[in-house]
Amino acid sequence: MIKMSGLALTFAVAFAGLPLLISCNKDDDKTSGVSANLPHLTPTVKAAAPAGLQAGLVGTAVQGLSDRFFNADGGPSNIFNLLANIDKTVDNINVITAGDEKACRSQEPVAYTINPAGLGLVTMYGQCYQVLAAGAVSTTAGLQQYGIKDGVIYLYSYAANGESAAIVTPLAGSEGKYTVKAWFSLSTGTGATWDVGSYGLMNLYANSETKAFEFTVGGIALGYCGAQLKSDGTDIFASISIDMGSTCNAVEDVCASAANLGDSTSCSAAIKIFDLFPIGRRSATGSNVSGTSKYPLLPNLDFDGTATDDIHFGPTTPIAGLGSL
């Protein structure tokens, strides 16, 4: 149990460069809680993602996707860095709920929706929220909220340089195993130069038991105008449109080994049919002119550096009815 008498207790959590400030008064040290015991997302995704992607082995055109999005030493677009941020949030929630009994945890989950890339409304649930204080990286405050409905965990975060949402579903009869469906947006530029850094949207699905894995991305300065891959644990099938700045390359389809990214001819018909909705950027004009993705056939992401373009898909303030942690 965490105790401080007569002083404010501050947890500083590094999410997107924004410290999370939570204050507890002296009366709070009279109670104790039970940890929410939320699981990390990274182990599920690592268990499902093909070994070749994570090892960064040289091979087919999938190598570029590996370097950009799955390289452990990658930058802001690396999904494992993005997942680590969510896992820090999970750790913080677990610590706070273990230290104090929070009324929001026992309230009825409140339904709300997110709309990533205009793909259609995705239902989320919330019970508790935390407000992020403005920090050194951004002058804009942020938000984190979570809820549990019928055993399924819903996590959402908003900050000035990106949003994330995740649905974590326990696998029946398989303790410690989950499916994860997650969305991430990135905005590493600022002001009039919003399009000079990584800017875009990603979506993934991972099943730690079956090794099913799928990933799709579209954006500016991400290396790909639009791309999607799917793996069954044996092979990877990908469709990509490489970003050339003012133009986007024609779609390239590739079949690769999940183990080492080498060429493969055994991709099944099933992994050539994507389950996640494909995404790709439309032409955009900012500091630079960005061409239209050739993947998918009808690209669907609009980027203009405003607060209403397609990197923004969720709430910026707590959903009505949620309780504060």
Residue 96 domain-assigned? yes
Residue 28 domain-assigned? no
Its domain, for residue 246, covers 41-308
Number of domains making up the chain = 1
Place of tokens 């452990």: 72
Residue 11 domain-assigned? no
Would you call 168 helix, strand, or coil by DSSP? strand
Q: What is the DSSP track for 103-124?
A: GGGGSPPEEEEE-GGGS--EEE
Residue 31 domain-assigned? no
CB 242 within 8 A of CB 81: no
Lookup: tokens for 54: 């994570």
Burial class of 138 by CB neighbour count within 10 A (0 to 12, 13 to 18, 19+): middle
CB 127 within 8 A of CB 323: yes
Residue 27 domain-assigned? no
Per-residue pLDDT 10s for the chain (325 aa) are: 333 333 333 333 333 444 343 333 334 444 578 999 999 999 999 999 999 999 877 778 898 999 999 987 768 899 999 999 899 989 989 999 999 889 999 999 999 999 997 667 899 999 999 987 766 444 556 899 999 999 999 999 998 888 999 999 999 999 999 999 999 999 988 778 888 889 999 999 999 999 999 999 999 999 999 999 999 999 999 999 999 989 999 999 999 999 999 999 999 999 999 999 999 999 988 888 899 999 999 999 999 998 889 999 999 999 999 999 9
Residue 236 domain-assigned? yes
Distances (CA, A) of 108 to 2, 127, 180, 191: 27, 7, 23, 40
Lookup: tokens for 269: 């018909």
Residue 5 domain-assigned? no
Residue 110 domain-assigned? yes
